Structure 1
Amino acid sequence: MTSSIFKACVFGNPIEQSKSPIIHASFAKQFGIELEYTRRFAEPDGFVDSVNAFFDDPLCKGANVTMPFKHDACAWVDSLSPQAAHAGAVNTIIRKGDKFVGDNTDGYGLVTDLQQHKVCLQNKRLLLIGAGGAAKGAIPALVDAGVSSVCIYNRSIDKAQALVNDTNQYKENVASLYNSNSNEFDVIVNATSLSLQGSLPDLPTTIFSHKPAVYDMVYLFEPTAFLKHAAQHGASVTIDGLGMLVHQAARSFYLWFGKQPQTNEIYEHLRSLAKS
């Protein structure tokens, strides 16, 4: 009797750039699991039809969801993990019998990668740039990791204020709005997509005066414009989002199969591709 070939995928638009098939193939190989993991393109208004069609196959264990469908996935699933409920966004769908659970592993991926790079979060002051789904998904894990304060900057002050209010409901008085007098940060996280356009957030260089550790959730084949800018103005360490990508994927794999994969080999492989 042959073993089952399980299926999983990542939904997105665009999606051809996704490294998820490479990552999950590596994870499956570690445990001898036969897994067919594919990229699934969906039209902007076609997520529900696409996800329904995919899960018609009972061998489909789950799916990852990237932009712009994380909110669509949140509405599609039957129930939400605490992380996904707080984020209001789902990046991982898990099949549980004939029901589907939505989770958000982005915060886990971020915190794990910061810890891998020896960045201490306990009792640290953090500047979070952005107030979209990526920022919202990261905050619960950052607060749970022990940051003493989260200062939030976003071009839209209304969105930033809404995220401050939401964060303070999660843990009272931990979040505040950025102002020009707020410059003593231990850790800075860029949760915007500005680096994909080579752009910088509209913030003064004084945010780097305390020699913070600086993290950009974007991963490119060379340091992002934001990381280069941070290094030039005093950052103690700069880290891109490759590790976050790998660690959030490892958490998804665990949620599907109950097995925690090792991440070092695939991380180094992807890093080597960037250098070749």
Structure 2
Amino acid sequence: MQLNGETQLFPIIGDPIAQVRSPQFLSEILARRGVNALVPPLQVKPADLDATVAVLRSIQNVRGMVVTIPHKVSCLTHCDQVSERAAFVGSVNIIRKTTAGQWVGDNVDGIGYLDGMAKQGGAIQGKRLLLIGVGGAGSAVAFEALRRGASYLAIHDLNIERRDAIIQSLATKFPNQVGIGSSDPNGFDLIANVTPMGMRPSDPYPVEVSQLKSSQFVADAITRPEVSPLVAYARNLGCKTMLGADMFNAEAEILVDFMLAEV
């Protein structure tokens, strides 16, 4: 790993930022590939996002950004181009600067989440999935789950307007395969939490854990604590599980591939 006047920067922006693993691990992947680049963490409040992105765009050795909560939806509007996937789900989690100076965005959260689940035994093909949370990452997970052949997707989100909007959008591409869910996991093969719920000791469980069965697969996106309360409960029942770290590990190489595509 290098740090000198030729070092390229791919900041990760979020609020909070202390929980992210990207700065160390993405920087290590870049170093292993022989690329002189780092991923510094930047804590940016929503009110300061527009000004921050404008400054980052103007800095010549900033070659892109990794985007985490709560900026994934807002950063879509700062891109000059976005992938079909990112446009469909309405958010980005990775942006690169082209040689022409344009910012191109994508959202690979869904790929990382579903790849991470698959590696831990949570195959999605032909299964019923209860998804908790459809923010920037959750909407990408919803799209990818249906693209990979989930038989049915139920979405539970406390933001009713956001929930209904993503259901309506997904239903145009995947008719009769998506609908409204609740916190009750009964009747589902897989349960996926893509909310920050569980990061704070005072947080409630994102689902009614008393209704979980050992035959169900339980996944969580949060990385701090490493084993979320939901995953810990599920493991005690004998469920197969996926940690937030498993999602990140599956997604990390994909993020770096995107960063370097046109650098």
Q: TM-score, normalised by structure 1?
A: 0.84
Going from structure 1 to structure 2, the CA distance change for 1:60 and 1:209 (only over 3 Å counts) comes to same
**Structure 2 residue aligned with 1:5:** 7
1:95-137 Cα offsets, whole Å, 9 max, x none, are: 1222111111111110111122132111111111123222112
Unaligned 5+ residue runs, structure 2? Answer: none
Where does residue 125 of structure 1 map in the other structure?
A: 128
Q: Are 1:178 and 2:184 counterparts?
A: no
Q: Deviations over 1:220-239 (max 9, x none)?
A: 2442111123234x452122
Work out which of the residue numbers 147, 150, 155 in structure 2 matches 1:152: 155
SS at match of 1:131: coil
Equivalences for residues 72-111 of structure 1 within 5 A = 72-96=74-98, 97-111=100-114
Whichever residue aligns with residue 106 of structure 1, its letter is D
Count of aligned pairs = 256
Say whether the 8 Å CA contact 2:89–2:166 is kept in structure 1. Answer: no
Q: What does 1:245-256 align with in structure 2 at a 5 Å threshold?
A: 245-256=248-259
How far apart are the structure 2 equivalents of 1:226 and 1:250?
27
Decide whether the 8 Å contact of 1:10 with 1:20 is kept in 2: yes
Which of the residues 22, 30, 33 maps onto 1:28? 30
Of 122, 139, 142, 1:139 maps to 142
Is 1:18 equivalent to 2:20 in the alignment?
A: yes
Q: Give deviations 1:186-219, integer Å, cap 9, x for gaps.
A: 111011211112421253633x237111001112
> What is the root-mean-square deviation in Å for CA atoms of aligned residues?
2.4
Structure 1 residues 49 and 159, CA gap change in structure 2 (3 angstroms): closer
Q: Which has the higher contact order (CA 8 A, sep 6+)?
A: 2
Structure 1 residues without counterparts, runs of 5 or longer: 260-276
Contact 1:214/1:235 (8 A) holds in 2? no
What SS is found at the alignment partner of 1:29?
helix
Q: Percent identity?
A: 24
Separation in 1, partners of 2:175, 2:169:
10
